[in-house]
Amino acid sequence: MQSRHLGSLAVSEIGYGTMSFASMYGPSPERSEAIRVIRGAYERGVTFFDTAEAYGPFTNEELVGEALAPFRDQVVIATKFGWNIDLDTGERHPGLNSKPDHVRRAVDGMLKRLKVETIDLLYQHRVDPDVPIEDVAGTVKSLVEAGKVKHFGLPEAAANTIRRAHAVQPVTAIQSEYSLWTRDPEPEVLPLCEELGIGFVPWSPLGAGYLTGKIDASTEIAPTDFRANSPRFTAEAREANKGLVDLLGRIATMKAATPAQIALAWLLARKPFIVPIPGTRRLERVEENVGAAHVALTGADLAEIEAEAARITVEGERLPAAVLQYSYR
């Protein structure tokens, strides 16, 4: 794979989100298998790995730290703070917590779990309305000065919040949901990233698996799978949205590719500072996703996708209301 830049941070043009190893899609594989897949991603050219203290909590960071330890100097690891988690017990409490003392303690725990001396990219997982973003950015700035953090990021933040944070501590990357069926960042956030030289990292670039074409209205979703509570994954919504999968399938046939590869190639073609982080628990899917970097979409292809997608109204909110309330603050 080629590399791209998130601000001044060089990463592989396709990264890897590791959340699926934290039982978010149902039971996780054995730890040895998870490590094999993560290391397999590195062997196939991925150098950008994403985790968070909330995944587990804590256990996903430990897994990523162990898996990537042999290649620590060759990879970029991103993690996130911000949910209200007891840092001693891992117990979850309602809401968010980005108070400076909490952030500093959280980072110390991350360093141990990831087995690193410095966190390459530290995100605030969601904007905390009770803590001014200037205070959060200032706290991260102090961690950068202390050598514990290299770069600062903000997921799911509003444009004005990004601008305010960037004035205190340069923001390297914004991570928000973005795909052919979730285009919320386009009106304000992506133009601001381009203006300020900030990278953009789409999470769920394959629509939590829906855009791969392997999920339809009849697919059974286990109660332990987070998608069971997603309005966009009701059987009715899955049926209503299949036009997008059909569109990706038609383009994929023309390109001798898969729908997933077209969905990722579409993102790569949007802007040169976009680095998607698809997640999977299977090595063959890693290989498929990485292959998207070699799929070239022409201007005519992109125009066709745009015209067809414009005629499709996506049904269902992208997240449950309890989670969605924390976005674009």
The residues annotated with a catalytic role in the active site are 55
Instruction: Specify whether the backbone of 60 is left (phi greater than 0), alpha (psi in -120 to 50) or beta.
Output: alpha
CA atoms within 13 A on the CB side of 113: 26
Check if the beta carbon of residue 204 is closer than 8 Å to that of residue 177: yes
Check if the beta carbon of residue 86 is closer than 8 Å to that of residue 56: no
Q: Is residue 224 packed enough to be buried (19+ CB in 10 Å), middle (13-18) or exposed (0-12)?
A: exposed
Check if the beta carbon of residue 268 is closer than 8 Å to that of residue 25: no
How far apart are the C-alpha atoms of 26 and 224, rounded to whole Å?
5
